[in-house]
Amino acid sequence: DTAVSQTPKYLVTQMGNDKSIKCEQNLGHDTMYWYKQDSKKFLKIMFSYNNKELIINETVPNRFSPKSPDKAHLNLHINSLELGDSAVYFCASSQGAGGGYGYTFGSGTRLTVV
């Protein structure tokens, strides 16, 4: 039973399209995150939600909008996709928001914009 599951695993789409990536965790954690890993394999935080409330919103274009319908889900919607959005997107969860707990990562979604 996967602890943090992301769908889809691969996503190939054309520039200008709108797409969503879904994330669900069954660990009972109250904090969820979206991270982006670029072509140089560098990871960077995008968003963090604690109990459905946005607590971290790094400098990410407005085209990216996270949505957390409940504590167990954090989805990422991307409008008007651009070539530079191509990356691997990782969802993660942790028990608390302070970083003093371990993180559990999803397996990643490889987004390719053509």
Partner 1 sequence: KNEVEQSPQNLTAQEGEFITINCSYSVGISALHWLQQHPGGGIVSLFMLSSGKKKHGRLIATINIQEKHSSLHITASHPRDSAVYICAVVRGSQGNLIFGKGTKLSVKP
Q: Which is nearer to partner 1, 67 or 105 (CB)?
A: 105
Q: In what order do the strands lie in the sheet with 73-78?
A: 4-7, 19-25, 73-78, 64-70
Q: Which is nearer to partner 1, 31 or 68 (CB)?
A: 31
Identify the residue among 7, 45, 73, 77 touching partner 1 (CB under 8 A): 45
Q: Of 11-19, 20-28, 64-72, 98-106, which part binds partner 1 (CB under 8 A)?
A: 98-106
Q: What is the 3-state secondary structure (H, E, C) of 3-64?
A: CEEEECCEEEECCCCCEEEEEEECCCCCEEEEEEECCCCCEEEEEEEECCEEEEECCCCCCE
Contacting residues toward partner 1, per CB under 8 A: 31, 33, 35, 40-45, 48, 50, 55-56, 58, 88, 90, 92, 94, 96-105, 107-108, 110
